[in-house]
Amino acid sequence: MAETIVTPLRPKRPCPECGRPSQRATFPFCSPRCKDIDLNRWLSGAYAIPVRDEEEDEQETLPGESERS
């Protein structure tokens, strides 16, 4: 019989938290612990994209300079 080589569906990547090899059950993480650490960062807002308030934008315009519509 000829052996067939099975190509994995996902490339092997290191865990984004600790760098160890990822596991199938917790992909892309290596363990439930690393998965929970990442989830906690998302839920606590650590991964939030900073935004600027409209008030800050208005204050940055120079005095005497009119805003164009």
Q: Which residues are annotated as a binding site for Zn(2+)?
A: 15, 18, 30, 34
Quote the CA–CA distance of 54 and 50 in Å, as a whole number: 13
Q: Which residues does the annotation place in the binding site?
A: 15, 18, 30, 34
Cβ-Cβ contacts under 8 Å for 34 (sequence gap 6 or more): 15, 16, 17, 18, 26
Cβ-Cβ contacts under 8 Å for 28 (sequence gap 6 or more): 13, 15, 16, 22
